[in-house]
A and B are shown apart, each in its own frame.
Chain A
C-alpha cells in the first residue's frame, strides 16, 4: 500500500496514468462511445469540417473521423501491448540467461542482439513486413522481433548487477541450484529496469505501429488504424486537414501517456537513475 501511495505521489505517473487509462477505456468501449459507425459509408456527409456533430469532421466516404480515431485505438493499443509483451518475454528470458550464466551463452546471445541493434529498427520492420505481408499478427510479431533486442540488453545488465549481491552469494553458499537462485533471488530483484523499459517501449510501439500502418503495412482497410488514417488524409490536406490531424493527436496523447508513466516509474522505482 505504501508503495502505491508513493507511486501516486509522482505527478508524471498520475498524469501519464490518466492519459493511458483514457486511451485504454476509449479502446475498450469504442463501440459504445463512438457516435457513428467507423466503417459504413455515408456519402451525404462527405468531407465535412469539424462541428459538434463531427468533432474531427468526416472523411471522403463520409465516415466520422472521431469515431474512427476511437476505434483505431483498439488496433494501436492491441498491437502495442501484444508486441511488447512478447518482446519482454523473449528479451527478458534471453537477457537473464546471458547475464546470469555468462560465458558462451552470453557471447552468442549478445552478438545476435548487437546485430539486430545495428539495424535501423524501422527498416528491419519494413523489410520483414514487406516480405511477410501486412496485417495484425505480422505487424505485432515484427515489432516484437525488433524490440526483443533492447529488452535483452536491459535484462542482462540488470541481472548482472543483482548477481553480484551478497544474498545471491549466500544462496550459492547454501548449495541451492543455479536455476532456483535465478528464479527466486535474482529475477525479482532485477525487475525494476524491465518495468520501466516496458512502459517506454509501449510508447515506441505505438509510434512504430503508426509508422508501419502509414506505409500501408498494417491491417487491411476498412478497419481503422491511426497511421493509415493519416496517410489517407495526406491527399486531402488542403480541404480536410482534420482527417490527418485527428489521429495524430490521439497518437501523441497515447505516446505522451506511456512516456510520462515510464519517467515516473523510473524516478520512483530506481532512485539511483533519477535525473535532475
Chain B
C-alpha cells in the first residue's frame, strides 16, 4: 500500500512540474506585457523607467533563469509577490483558498446527497416513474451549463423567493449564518451538474451489480432488500462512481472560476481571473499552480480510494 502510494505521488509530482513549465512559458510567450499594462497609457513614462521596472520585476533575465528563480522559490513555499499590489502571492492565496475549498466541498456534498439516493432509487425501480425522473434529471443536468443554472437559481431563490442574497460573501468567522447563506446558491449551482453525472453513473453501475450472481445469492439467503442493496451491491458499484466524481472534480474546480465571478465570491478562481486580466505573472502562476496541485492531489486520492474499496487494485 505504501509503495503504491509513493508511486502515485511520484507521478503526480512529475505532472505538476510539467504544469509549472507550461504555465510559466504560457504567461510569457503570449503577447501582452505586464509593464505596459501596469502603466497603462501614461506617456510620461520614459523608456528608461520602463527598463527599470522590467529589471525590478526580473523580466530582463533569460527565461530559464526566471524559471529557476521561481521554481526555487516554490520549493521554499515562496510564490513571489504580485507585480501590482506587491503583496506576497501566498498571502492572498491563503486568504482565498478557504472560499474555493468551501465552495467545492459544499458542491460535492450537495451532489452526493442528491445523486446517491436518486441513483439507487432509480436502479431499484427500473422503468418506473422514479427512474424516468432520475434519468431526465441526469440528462438535463449534464446538458445545462452551470453558470446558466446559477442564474436560474438566482432568479428563483433570490429574486422570487428572496431566501438567499443574489451575490456577496461573508466571512464564516464573522457571520456564520450569512456565510452559509451566501455560499448556498453557488454550491447548489455548481453541485447540480455533478449530481446529474453522478446520478447517472450510480444508477447504471448499481444495475450492473444487481444482476450478478452474488447479489442473487444474498437475496436467496433471505437478506432484506436493504441489506442486499447497501451491504452487498452498493460497495461493489462504487468504483465507477468514485471514478466519475474524481474526473468531475476537475470540472468542479474549473467551474468555480465562473461561479465565483457570478456570485462575487473572493476565491482562487476570481483571483486567477483578475491576475490574467492584468497580466500579473506571479499571481497567475501561483493560482494556476495551486488549482492544478489540488486537481492532481484529488486524482491521487481517487487512486487511494480505489485501493481501499477494491483490494484487487492494490496488488494489480
Contact = CB atoms under 8 A, between A and B. Distances in A.
Nearest to A207: B145
A251 B284 CA distance: 30
Contacts of B253: 120, 123
Nearest to A211: B258
A249 B22 CA distance: 36
Contacts of A37: none
A51 B301 CA distance: 52
Given A127-B27, A132-B30, A275-B204, A248 B254 contact: no
Nearest to A263: B139
Looking at chain B's contact residues, is the secondary structure mostly helix, strand, loop, or mixed? Answer: helix
Interface string B165-188: 010000000000000000000000
A241 B159 CA distance: 10
A244 interface: yes
Given A210-B145, A237-B154, A131 B204 contact: no
Interface string A241-263: 10011001001110110011000
Interface stretch (B41-49, B73-81, B290-298): B290-298
Interface stretch (A110-118, A164-172, A180-188): A110-118
Interface string B228-271: 00000000000000000000001101110110011000000100
B109 to A, nearest CB: 20
A230 to B, nearest CB: 6
B276 interface: yes
Interface string B17-39: 01100110011001110000000
B4 interface: no
B262 A131 contact: no
A210 B258 CA distance: 11
Nearest to A209: B145
Contacts of A251: 143-145, 148
Given A115-B19, A118-B292, A119-B19, 19 more contacts: A118-B15, A118-B18, A118-B295, A120-B251, A122-B254, A123-B253, A126-B272, A131-B27, A131-B30, A214-B147, A241-B155, A244-B148, A245-B151, A245-B155, A255-B144, A256-B139, A259-B139, A259-B143, A276-B204
Interface of B: 14-16, 18-19, 22-23, 26-27, 30-32, 139-140, 142-145, 147-148, 151-152, 154-155, 159, 166, 204, 207-208, 211, 250-251, 253-255, 257-258, 261-262, 269, 272-273, 276-277, 279, 284, 288, 291-292, 295-296
Interface of A: 111-112, 114-116, 118-123, 126-128, 130-133, 203, 207, 210-211, 214-215, 227, 230, 233-234, 237-238, 241, 244-245, 248, 251-253, 255-256, 259-260, 275-276
20 contacts: A118-B16, A119-B19, A119-B292, A122-B254, A123-B288, A126-B272, A126-B276, A130-B277, A131-B32, A131-B276, A203-B143, A227-B145, A230-B148, A237-B154, A251-B144, A255-B144, A255-B145, A256-B139, A256-B140, A275-B208
